[in-house]
Amino acid sequence: MSCRPVALTLVLALASGSSACTEPPTKPPPQAGPVEPRAPEPIPPPSTKFDVGAPPLATRAPPQGMASISVLDPSIRLDIRYATTANFTGMPLPGYVPGEAWLTTEAAEALVRVQQALAADDLGLLVFDAYRPRRATEAMVTWAENAGRRELLDGGYVARDSNHNRGNTVDLTLVSLQTGRELDMGSAWDTFSKASHYAAAKGEAMANRKRLRKAMSAQGFEPYELEWWHFTLPSDPSPPVRDEAYGP
């Protein structure tokens, strides 16, 4: 901002009644033109994978003839890996919901008896998988085929027809009730190698595998030699294959 010479400015100011220093006139803001509509963002094509994203938190009630493990015995810990990305496919499998696991009522009640027996030794159960919707088994098979891992199918690690779909099979391990930590079993759950074969462990790991097998066998569960964590409660007739999802 600039000011005129004082004498001349005073004369002009007295004559016009204006202030001694004035702001230069400002230009009016330009008129905004019409807003051009933006084209919508293109929608990405659907994924060809079976990743269902974050599973829903809501769960359904178990179908008739099945029971929720956590309802029958909340002390049995659950770590349902197939409801998360922490499994061999790297993505949640369809039909699962975190924090929920079903079994046939007969198998669930037998599992509660296992938990009660183990508590005398300050031990408990940690469940990784129980009833598995049929769609999840199909997703596993699809992943193995697309990933070029047919040896998992041929080797018996990924089954095209799984007793998990019947709800009478459970994957689990032992934990210390004092520390909450898993006992050393010689290999992690879902390790697809000979290290997971029941007879492959030694020392403390073998002792823990025997302890788990003894506790499960005492309640009628049968082991699977290729996976130390896998147990099935046989029945006659066998439960039907199901595809009910845990959530909507």
Question: Is 168 inside a domain boundary?
Answer: yes
Determine which one of 151, 222, 225, 227 is catalytic. 227
Question: Is 192 inside a domain boundary?
Answer: yes
Residues in the chain: 248
Question: Is 59 inside a domain boundary?
Answer: no
The answer to whether 76 and 102 are in contact (CB under 8 A) is: no
Per-residue pLDDT of the chain (248 residues; tens, 9 = 90+): 444 444 434 333 434 444 343 444 445 544 544 444 444 333 333 333 333 334 445 578 999 999 999 999 999 999 999 999 999 999 999 999 999 999 999 999 999 999 999 999 999 999 999 999 999 999 999 999 999 999 999 998 999 999 999 999 999 999 999 999 999 999 999 999 999 999 999 999 999 999 999 999 999 999 999 999 999 999 999 999 999 999 98
Cβ neighbors of 148 (< 8 A, separation 6 or more) are none
The residue behind tokens 């030694």 is 202
Question: Is 97 inside a domain boundary?
Answer: yes
The answer to whether 92 and 83 are in contact (CB under 8 A) is: yes
Retrieve residue 100's tokens: 């929920």
Q: Give the strand pairing for 66-68 and 102-104.
A: antiparallel
Question: Is 127 inside a domain boundary?
Answer: yes
Q: Report the pLDDT value the prediction gives residue 35, as an integer from 0 to 100.
A: 41
The residue behind tokens 């070029």 is 148
Q: Based on the structure, what is the number of domains in the chain?
A: 1
For residue 157, the 8-state DSSP code is S
Respond yes or no: is residue 227 known to be catalytic.
yes
The answer to whether 190 and 140 are in contact (CB under 8 A) is: no
Question: Is 191 inside a domain boundary?
Answer: yes
How far is CA 201 from its chain centroid?
29
Expressed as residue numbers, the domain containing 209 is 66-232
Q: What is the pTM of this model?
A: 0.77
Question: Is 241 inside a domain boundary?
Answer: no
